[in-house]
Amino acid sequence: DYKGQKLAEQIFQGIILVSAVIGFICGYITEQFGWTVYIVMTGVALSCLLTLPPWPMYRRNPLKWLPIQESGTEEKKPGDRKPKRHAKS
């Protein structure tokens, strides 16, 4: 459902943003770029764990599909269509 996709996207972006800010601050204070990378990668792994599987919180608003059509209805064949007319310029 679309609301679940939006929620997953917001959670994903929020976790990555927060981890990037925390990682930058910790890396700046300790003067170690490695800490920044480790913290950001931990945030990416956490956000993937929370947003990639189809958790029930993302499936609360299922889409309503059209009913199945009966097989007795006729479908138009490609030869039954009218040819398109192109506008003259």
CA pair distance 44, 73, nearest whole angstrom: 51
Per-residue pLDDT of the chain in tens (89 residues, 90 and over written 9)? 889 999 999 999 999 999 999 999 999 999 999 999 999 999 999 999 999 998 888 888 888 888 888 876 555 555 556 666 766 65
Answer whether residue 9 is part of any domain. Answer: yes
Answer whether residue 48 is part of any domain. Answer: yes
Answer whether residue 34 is part of any domain. Answer: yes
Overall number of domains in the chain:
1
pLDDT, position 72:
61
Max CA separation in the chain (angstroms): 74
pLDDT, position 50:
94
Full residue range of the structural domain in which residue 20 is found: 2-55
Q: Model-level pTM greater than 0.95?
A: no
